[in-house]
Structure 1
Amino acid sequence: MPGRVLTPAELARRSDPAALEALVAPAREPAAAPARQGLANPAAAIVGQQRAHEAVAYGIAMPRDGHHLFVMGPPGVGKRTLVRRAIEAHVARNGVERFDWAYVNNFAQPHQPRVLRLPRGRASALRQHMRALADDLRTMIPATFESEEYATAVERLNTEYKERAEHAVLEVGEQAQGQGLVMVRTPVGLSFAPRKPTPDGSDAVYTPEEFAALPEAERTRLQQALQAAQEQLVRVLRGTVRLRKEHADRLRALNRSMTMVAVEHAVDEVKDDYADLPEVLAYLEAVRDDVIDKADRFRSPQGEEASAGETTPVAEIDLSAYEVNVLVDAAGTDGAPIVTIDHPTHQQLIGRVDHLARMGTLLTDYRLVKPGALHRANGGFILIDAAKLLVQPFAWDALKRALTRREIRIESMAEMVSLVTTVQLEPEPIPLAVKVVLFGAREIGQLLQELDPDFGRLFRVVADFSDDLPRVDAVQRELVQSLTAQGAASALLPAGFGALARLVDHGARLAGDAQRLSASVQRLLDVLTEADQRARAAGHACIEASDVDGAIAARRRRASRIDERLREEVGRGMLMIATSGVRVGQINGLMVYESGGETFGEPVRISATTRLGDGEVIDIQRETHMGGPVHAKGVLILAAFLGARYSRFRAHAIFASLVFEQTYGIVEGDSASLAELLALLSSIADVPLKQSLAVTGSINQFGDVQPIGGVNEKIEGFFDVCAARGFDGTHGIVMPEANVAQLMLREDIVAAVAGGRFAIHAVRHADEAIEVMTGLAAGEPHAPHADTVNGRIVARLREYARLHGGEQRWPRRHRGGASPSVHADGARTAPPKGRAR
């Protein structure tokens, strides 16, 4: 049988505006506006996707480690919207305690700042309290050092020190005087000299001449006394140094005690507000100790002796070490944080440490620690685009480390890439409790699963959004409600049900299947937005069906530069496509390509030649590296079918070649394997094929015709070529029966079929296609008859076998046809010389 010719009713499934209105009417609110004013029910932007919704809900609710989400699917299907709404619903049902995070000075190890976790809103309060404390210290401590009490205490210590030092020196002098010596002050300090008696009893010293004139015994005695006194003086002066140090220590102790009196009260007032937070109390005690230890900052001694009243000006006292660096302030927020990061660099994820340039030197401290997205999302959820994340240096590894360690450790990128290490700020890591949601294409998820073992360990929940959805009432209702709600949110004109019906039909076109709808609501909303502009320009009160049709046509025209050029080349004869007559070994195949987001179909001439040979079928596309692996597979399948059907017990003695004429790029896909088979059989049997028909479809090893993609665009592409040349009633398409349910053809094609100007033939087997394309009966290959195509093929192969080396033995008719267990070795192909890219 030559297949069947489709009726106009089978070529498209149009939505009825009235039926669509009746479908969605029960879901409307009681106070809903008229249908042409849009629907009142603000439906979600997500249509269908129940499986993905279940996966997202499970991943969000799962508290275990390693159950982060990877959400994949095509763009525009509402992945982010669904995830965000699911998170918001989860957060609303499950209260989450939020915390503030802050870094403070580590007085013992300044390069390792301490982290504080505080209840929501209290980090800012602590920062204000510490600023107020610093202001108090700037006035209270200097005032303490300026007090009369402090001055008296300092004067007492100074007097005591002076008295002790002077007493020790005087005692040495008195002892020396008893030995006939006198203490003198020289430019280099105190010393002793022999005392010369005078009438008035005053101290005088011998001149060198007078000393030399003394008796030798006296000189010796005086020299020994001088040496002993000098040694005693040295010992006393050394003791004076110890006295000075002791005095300084007593002054520092005084300063500490006076500072403690001032600080204790001020710090205790702050501690009263944080009695429930042990970490904060420990920090405040460290602040108190540091202020006391560094009390001398509040006074600047002038000269050798410390005295009261010599203090540093209040404005110059630096108390920045007691600042609180609030990293995350959760004040004024409710529920768990939901953070979306658009630029997921290493620093944007885990934070950074800034530097200040001063006098040519880069300086930093804990106050310059800046948070990353993980800090803001801690305790909640973070949404990241996988493609953007993976192209950023070190970002993916940093995220994995944070999730594995369950902590945020701020790391320097400079240290990662440098061979020379320097002292870096090392902030204390922050415990991490976050749920990560990665969004990406399926290819990214598959590559990560294959190449990165950590991915499967960390992202165990995969939510796969469908590209299309079944065209059932529930889905259509959700789609219409979603488009209406989003149109209203975007301030578009209300869409009438005629326009909405056109959008539903366009959704089926985008899905490439009359029984399904594209899940990309965004693409339909883009059309609706453009239709709104056309409706306003035409002065329409609402968006009408004609506005949607015009928007769809305009979008397609904007992307049709290549399509128009190809049509022109076909019209000029530059691209040789025959649409009339018959040819041997030549057939019109169909291909599709994408341009500007639109899909176009074009006819392409496929030719085959055969001659006496060793049973080899050459795919010229493959041999020239211009054919993809799927296309090569299709050719191998048709070669296997040829051998299994016509030469089951002996290799056929032919050499065949197949090629897509006038193609200069990569040919991929197996949807032309039926056309290639027909061209090959035509060449073997020397039976011409109708050029007024084009063929699409793939085959298996048993000759069954299998469905293909892009069937609507392929039919429309050949239809447009035939329409440009003029119909004569013989033009049409041969397509797989399995694709009939997917047809969503244009109205002009439906009208042409109804008027008998164009025909669409649906076939299930290669034999049906043979009969349509040749006008002859296909016949049985195992019961050859001269008036059938298969009979002529058998006769030609028998002739080739005889010429090749002897009469081929032909088996009797096999009732079951080609046996699946018989290896079809009749078609051989040369090993590939390379892989097409």
Structure 2
Amino acid sequence: MERERRGDGLKQSRQVPAAQLRGDIKADDFPFETTNEIESLSDVVFGQKRAERASEFGLKVKQPGYNLFLVGPSGSGKSAYALAKVTEMAEDGQAPNDWCYVYNFESPDHPLAISFPAGQAAQFKQTIETLIKDIERNARAAFASEEFEKKRKSVHKTFNDQAEEIWKQLEQYAKDQNFGVEKTQQGYLTVPLRFGRPISKEEFKAMPEAEQDELNQKGKEVEAEVTEAARRIELVERQLEEEYDKLKKKMAREAVNDLFAALLDLYADNEKVLTYLTKMHDDVSENYRLFQGSDGSEENFLFPFVESKVRSTRYQVNVFVDRSKLTGAPVVFETNPSYHNLFGKVEYRGSFGSMSTDFTMIKPGALHTSNGGYLIVQAAELLANPLSWIMLKRTLKTRQIRIENVLEEQALVSTAGIKPEEIPLDVKVVMIGSAHLYHLLAQWDEDFHKIFKVKVEFDTDMEKSAEHIQDFASFVKRYTEESGLLPFHRGALASLMNYSSRLAGDQRKLSTRFHDITKIIVESSFWAEQAEALVVEEAHLRQALDEQEYRSSRIAERIREMIADGTLMVDTEGEVVGQINGLAVLQTGDYMFGQPHRITAQTYLGRKGILNIERETSLSGQLHDKGLLILSGYLNGKFAQERPLPISASVTFEQTYSMIDGDSASSTELYALLSSLSQTGIKQGIAVTGSVNQKGEIQPIGGVNEKIEGFFYVCAAKGLTGEQGVIIPHQNVKNLGLKADVAEAIERGQFHVWSVETIEQGIEMLTGESAETIFARVEQRLNQMFERLKALERKGDVKPSD
């Protein structure tokens, strides 16, 4: 009876009050009935002052390398915040320059990049297109003019006279040698003459041999003169073509001089445009044939096609980046940061078994379109493209965007490539990722801190202040409005905030995992609509949570069934020596649940200390091993001051067939050992969680809510007695956020949660006896074992090392 009174008194003093089982926000805390009565939240996220301060700094610093890396858990609103914040900053910025690529007349494989004030690149393209039309019109008019025809005839006459003079001299020379010269399609033909007519073959054969030899010798001399005359005439013809070509070039230049002069004045303040127009002026004059049109001759049969093909590329302007519709600085959120999507590319066309391209097929990437503004990328997506990360680092360090065909070496067909001129880069990169990725990059990439100097860290939770509670309510109002959901009643809002505290793992805080919160908002509204309600009530929110758990709890329910039918052995009533219920947390995907485990301890004579059966079977993690070693430290410190511990012991999690890790069951295992040593029974209706240090102080653990709920549902399945409950570390009381049905059962006295600070408090609650009594029994047992062991050693039955 005394034992029961002592145990009951201690339980009452250590029982966690009902008010501390869940979050403390109540419906009456809100001065409104529904969220329809309050204002929407204006900020994208709230409760992230550290992140806001860091991002404000990073976005305003203009020096190179001050790019931002947003770090935080998934679902905390990093992407939405980054886009909203950057867009806000961009609105106050200026639209950067347009960029276009043009033909490089000196090096066609290296197109030139020219920049213009925002909106003027398209105008320049239109100006050049108009210029080409005017050039064609003026050139054709010039070549069809009387002046050109007069000059053309004069050039022809000059050179025709020279050719005729050479021909006359040749004919006179041949005539003096009694030879005639005739033009044929095959060339010039010399024929010997007699009495002014050609000598026939018969006449030649009838001539004396001496006359034949003389005639042959003169023929060779005449042929030599003919060859020389033909060479001189061909030279005259080439001179004629050169002079004719010079005349056309001069006429073409004069025809377009005024056109280019006007443009040179128009773009006088853009040195690169002036250089381009000057080179273009020279090129137009050199390539006048592209503008004079076809004369119908056979050599110009394909001229219209060639003219169109060349002019469609040579004198075009490729408006690469057009800011004409942009207000403020550009903002680009690249969701697929592949190499080409970031750095642009040069497209190719098939041509007779090879691939060819030109500057009109250069396409921009996200770095080009965001140049002068902001680029947002997801770190995980970027690192999935290793080449993108390598080139991004190089580009940010050199501050030049280079378009390269990085796969050209692996191409299966030959390509005719180009290398566009680099474009200067001035962009603020905002990368979003997890803390894991941030630390990996910081540790293994030496360039990381040089180019991402600003860390913007998002907290996983925020203080549950009056300001944040109001912001939370305003956030719910904004989200329901934007998503077309039902408004929330203040009772549902209070429960949602308490659920947020459970997600945060602290009653004093609210979670920033907005993805999980909005998920419950959507599902609560759905169940309210199914019930044809006008607002979301607390019952709808609870239904949403229950349904969400039901969809993921199949394995948890199967385990509870196995415990209820005795397949997995867990006692929830009575007392057993050396046996206790420990609590573990399992996770399947995004669902966590608690499961009770029977932990047993056996103590026996020997000097081997505590044997961890899980470790011996390679089923124990390092943290679990550490917990067992701490138990040895506690027992030796407590009971081995006068003599060594004369025991061997084994501890195990019964019916576990997978890896066990963590030290949250170390206090539980210590209770089982003390029970075995003292031969005092432990109440099986009480489960325990908590780690312990070598001084016997209880330390906090994780997953406290899931552990309590896991044991509660097992007890409920086997029958609640009103004596059952869970012992937790006192530090974990602030982490409580139990489900409504569990908290209600505790309030009714059907289940209990106790908090302890020391092993002494815990063993008293588990056994109903004082710690002094338990420790005295342990000491007495150890002394007996020590004497027995010494006697066996003296007899030689046991070696001192056993």
Task: Identify the range of structure 1 (796-805 vs 236-245) with the bigger mean alpha-carbon deviation.
Answer: 796-805
CA 1:649–1:117: 2 relative to 1, 3 Å: farther
2:731 & 2:303 partners in 1: Cα distance?
96
Matches within 5 A, 1:235-634: 235-297=228-290, 298-299=292-293, 312=304, 316=308, 318-320=310-312, 321-415=314-408, 423-595=416-588, 597-634=590-627
Task: Assess if the C-alpha contact under 8 Å between 2:610 and 2:632 holds in 1.
Answer: yes
- Aligned position for 2:118: 120
2:47 is the counterpart of 1:48: yes
2:30 is the counterpart of 1:20: yes
Partner AA of 2:650 in structure 1: S
Q: TM-score of the superposition, structure 2-length normalised? A: 0.91
CA 1:620–1:131: 2 relative to 1, 3 Å: farther
CA 1:358–1:19: 2 relative to 1, 3 Å: same
Partner AA of 1:669 in structure 2: G
- Aligned position for 2:81: 82
User: Following TM superposition, by how much is the alpha carbon of 1:590 offset from its aligned partner in structure 2, in angstroms?
Assistant: 1.0
CA 1:43–1:656: 2 relative to 1, 3 Å: farther
Task: Identify the range of structure 1 (624-633 vs 438-447) with the bigger mean alpha-carbon deviation.
Answer: 624-633
Q: Match of 1:535, SS? A: helix
Task: Assess if the C-alpha contact under 8 Å between 1:493 and 1:542 holds in 2.
Answer: yes
1:364 & 1:606 partners in 2: Cα distance?
74
1:310 & 1:79 partners in 2: Cα distance?
61
CA 1:492–1:420: 2 relative to 1, 3 Å: closer
- Aligned position for 1:795: 780
1:243 & 1:305 partners in 2: Cα distance?
21
Residue in structure 2 matching 1:8, options 13, 18, 26: 18
Residue in structure 2 matching 1:168, options 156, 166, 169: 166
User: Following TM superposition, by how much is the alpha carbon of 1:449 offset from its aligned partner in structure 2, in angstroms?
Assistant: 1.2
Task: Assess if the C-alpha contact under 8 Å between 1:139 and 1:314 holds in 2.
Answer: no
- Aligned position for 2:57: 58
Task: Assess if the C-alpha contact under 8 Å between 2:67 and 2:454 holds in 1.
Answer: yes
Task: Among all aligned residue pairs of Structure 1 and Structure 2, give the percentage whose two residues are the same amino acid.
Answer: 34
1:101 & 1:512 partners in 2: Cα distance?
52
Structure 1 residues 216-235: Cα deviation after superposition (integer angstroms, max 9, x where no partner): 4x777655544443323322
User: Following TM superposition, by how much is the alpha carbon of 1:403 offset from its aligned partner in structure 2, in angstroms?
Assistant: 0.9
Task: Assess if the C-alpha contact under 8 Å between 1:38 and 1:495 holds in 2.
Answer: no
Task: Identify the range of structure 1 (367-376 vs 231-240) with the bigger mean alpha-carbon deviation.
Answer: 231-240
CA 1:692–1:717: 2 relative to 1, 3 Å: same
Task: Assess if the C-alpha contact under 8 Å between 1:37 and 1:542 holds in 2.
Answer: no
CA 1:560–1:220: 2 relative to 1, 3 Å: closer
2:437 & 2:154 partners in 1: Cα distance?
80
Partner AA of 1:567 in structure 2: R
2:146 & 2:655 partners in 1: Cα distance?
106
Task: Identify the range of structure 1 (629-638 vs 106-115) with the bigger mean alpha-carbon deviation.
Answer: 629-638
Task: Assess if the C-alpha contact under 8 Å between 1:38 and 1:484 holds in 2.
Answer: no
2:703 is the counterpart of 1:704: no
Structure 1 residues 715-761: Cα deviation after superposition (integer angstroms, max 9, x where no partner): 11111211222222321111101111222223443443333332222
Structure 1 residues 766-793: Cα deviation after superposition (integer angstroms, max 9, x where no partner): 12111111222222xxxxxxxx222222
Structure 1 residues 105-134: Cα deviation after superposition (integer angstroms, max 9, x where no partner): 112222211111111001111122222233
Residue in structure 1 matching 2:109, options 94, 97, 111: 111
Q: Match of 1:123, SS? A: helix
User: Following TM superposition, by how much is the alpha carbon of 1:149 offset from its aligned partner in structure 2, in angstroms?
Assistant: 3.3
Q: Match of 2:407, SS? A: helix
User: Following TM superposition, by how much is the alpha carbon of 1:651 offset from its aligned partner in structure 2, in angstroms?
Assistant: 4.7
Q: Match of 1:733, SS? A: strand
What's the RMSD between the two structures over aligned residues? 2.9
Q: Match of 2:771, SS? A: coil
Q: TM-score of the superposition, structure 1-length normalised? A: 0.87
User: Following TM superposition, by how much is the alpha carbon of 1:54 offset from its aligned partner in structure 2, in angstroms?
Assistant: 0.9
1:708 & 1:305 partners in 2: Cα distance?
92
CA 1:657–1:252: 2 relative to 1, 3 Å: farther
- Aligned position for 1:654: 647
Q: Match of 1:37, SS? A: helix
Structure 2: runs of 5+ lacking an equivalent:
1-9, 794-800
Task: Identify the range of structure 1 (742-751 vs 255-264) with the bigger mean alpha-carbon deviation.
Answer: 742-751
CA 1:657–1:157: 2 relative to 1, 3 Å: farther
Q: Match of 2:727, SS? A: strand
Task: Assess if the C-alpha contact under 8 Å between 1:7 and 1:753 holds in 2.
Answer: no
Task: Identify the range of structure 1 (705-714 vs 792-801) with the bigger mean alpha-carbon deviation.
Answer: 792-801
1:576 & 1:729 partners in 2: Cα distance?
21
Task: Assess if the C-alpha contact under 8 Å between 2:35 and 2:474 holds in 1.
Answer: no
- Aligned position for 2:223: 230
CA 1:567–1:257: 2 relative to 1, 3 Å: same
Task: Assess if the C-alpha contact under 8 Å between 2:581 and 2:686 holds in 1.
Answer: yes
Residue in structure 1 matching 2:684, options 686, 691, 700: 691
- Aligned position for 1:142: 140
Task: Identify the range of structure 1 (495-504 vs 179-188) with the bigger mean alpha-carbon deviation.
Answer: 179-188
User: Following TM superposition, by how much is the alpha carbon of 1:36 offset from its aligned partner in structure 2, in angstroms?
Assistant: 5.0
CA 1:187–1:314: 2 relative to 1, 3 Å: closer
Partner AA of 1:85 in structure 2: A
Task: Assess if the C-alpha contact under 8 Å between 2:578 and 2:601 holds in 1.
Answer: yes
- Aligned position for 1:96: 94
User: Following TM superposition, by how much is the alpha carbon of 1:799 offset from its aligned partner in structure 2, in angstroms?
Assistant: 3.7
Task: Assess if the C-alpha contact under 8 Å between 1:77 and 1:522 holds in 2.
Answer: yes
Q: Match of 1:652, SS? A: coil
2:260 & 2:414 partners in 1: Cα distance?
39
Task: Assess if the C-alpha contact under 8 Å between 1:610 and 1:683 holds in 2.
Answer: yes
1:187 & 1:713 partners in 2: Cα distance?
105
2:703 & 2:131 partners in 1: Cα distance?
74
